Amino acid sequence: MSRAAQATVDLSALQANLRVARQAAPGRRVMAVIKSDGYGHGLTHVARALSGHAEALAVTDATEAEALRGAGFRERIVLLQGPFRVEDLERAAAADLELVIHTHWQVEALAQARLASPVTVWVKVDSGMHRLGFPPEEVQAVWRRLTEAPGVRADVGFLTHLACADDRGNLATERQLATFEAACDGLPGPRSAANSAGVLGWPASHYDWVRPGIMLYGASPFVDGRAGHPALQPAMAFRGQVVAVRHLQAGDAVGYGATWRCPESMPVGVISVGYGDGYPRHAPSGTPVEVAGRRTQLVGRISMDLLAVDLRGLEGVTEGDPAILWGGVVRAEEVADACGTIAYELFCRMPPRVRREPVDTGAS
C-alpha cells in the first residue's frame, strides 16, 4: 500500500482563475505561465485545464515545450528564457515554439541560422529588474537586427518583467512601465508586461498580452495577501492522513530535538507528510493544518515522512482521518507566511513521490 501523500489538482479552479485574469484585463490576450511543471501542479494537468482557454502557454525551456507537443497540445508555446544553445533554434523551429530573446549571442545565432521554418520571437527589455533583458538603449538596434534575420517572423514582440508589482504601494512599477514604453517607442509588434500582480493591480501594464502565473493556481501575488481578490480559488490540495493518535502527558516532548513539549495532558496526531514530500522542514510550531475538516496547528519539528499536530478540541479524530496541509480551510499563503516564504516555493518544491491527481470539482 502506498503512502497517503498526494496533491489533488482542481482543473476547474484553474479555469476559474483564468477567468478572473480575463475579467481584470478585458480584451487582452492571455499567455498562461505554466513553467516549472505547472508551478508544481503537473505540467500536462495544467495544460489540459487551460487548453482552449488561453491564447498561449509559457514554459521555461524546450524540454517542457516538447513534452507539451508530445502530449498533443497545439497552442502557441513561448520559451521564457529562449534558447540555451544554438541547437535549440532547430528544436524551436521543428516544434513551432516562440522564443524570448534576452542576450546578444541569441540575436546573432538567429541572424546566422538557416531554419527549416521561421520562428516568432519576443525581445526582452530590462526595464529595471536587472535580471535578463536588453538595456533600453539597445532595444531598437536589436529589433532591427532580428527583423533582418531570415529565420525570424516579421511580427517581433516585446516584453518585460515587473520586479515590484506585488507591492501596490511601490512606484517602481510605474517607472518600469515608462522605461519599457520609451524603449519600444515607434516599433511595431505586440507588448507584454503584466505578471499576476500586474494583471490584478496595475491596469497600465496590460498592453496586448498579459502573463498570469501564480494567480492561476489560486494564490495571491501580493505581499499583502488576498485582500481585494477573494475570487481566486486554490487549485492544489496537499493531502495526507492521520496515521497515529498519541495520548501524551504534560511535559512530554514531541519530535526531533524535543523543541516542543505538551503544556498539559493532550492528544497529538501524526500525519503522513514530511519534508521528503516538500513540506518545509523549518515550519514552526503553530503553523496551521486542517485535520478532519477542522483547523489545528503543527507541534514539534517536521520529520522526513511525518509531522505532528495538536488535537486538543478536535474530538473524535482517529487513524485514517484526512489531513490537508494547504488548499482546504488552510490556504497555501498562510503556511508560506508562517514559514517565511511564498506560496510559489511551496508548490514548486513538491517532489515526484507526491502523486498529482487531477480532479474537476466544477468550480464556478
Rounded Cα–Cα distance for residues 108 and 122 (Å): 15
Q: Are 151 and 110 in contact (CB under 8 A)?
A: yes
Please choose, from the candidates 278, 294, 298, the residue with its C-alpha nearest in 3D space to the C-alpha of residue 343. 278
Rounded Cα–Cα distance for residues 329 and 293 (Å): 7
DSSP secondary structure code for residue 191 in this structure: E
Rounded Cα–Cα distance for residues 16 and 38 (Å): 16
Residue 289: strand, helix, or coil:
strand
Please choose, from the candidates 163, 187, 183, 222, the residue with its C-alpha nearest in 3D space to the C-alpha of residue 343. 222
Backbone dihedral region for residue 108 (phi beyond 0: left; psi -120 to 50: alpha; all else: beta): alpha
H runs (alpha helix) in the chain: 11-24, 35-39, 43-50, 62-70, 87-95, 104-112, 139-147, 172-184, 196-201, 332-339, 343-348
Tell me which residue has cell 546573432: 108
Catalytic residue list contains 256: yes
| Number of residues that make up the chain | 364
Catalytic residue list contains 39: no
Tell me which residue has cell 540555451: 84
> Strands 76-79 and 97-101: what pairing?
parallel
Among the listed residues 124, 217, 256, 275, the single catalytic one is 256
* CB atoms closer than 10 angstroms to residue 138: 16
Tell me which residue has cell 514548486: 348
Please choose, from the candidates 138, 66, 150, the residue with its C-alpha nearest in 3D space to the C-alpha of residue 102. 138
Among the listed residues 35, 217, 279, 344, the single catalytic one is 35
Tell me which residue has cell 522526513: 304
Phi, psi of 30 (to 5 degrees): -115, 125
Rounded Cα–Cα distance for residues 180 and 102 (Å): 14
Rounded Cα–Cα distance for residues 362 and 90 (Å): 41
Residues catalogued as catalytic: 35, 256
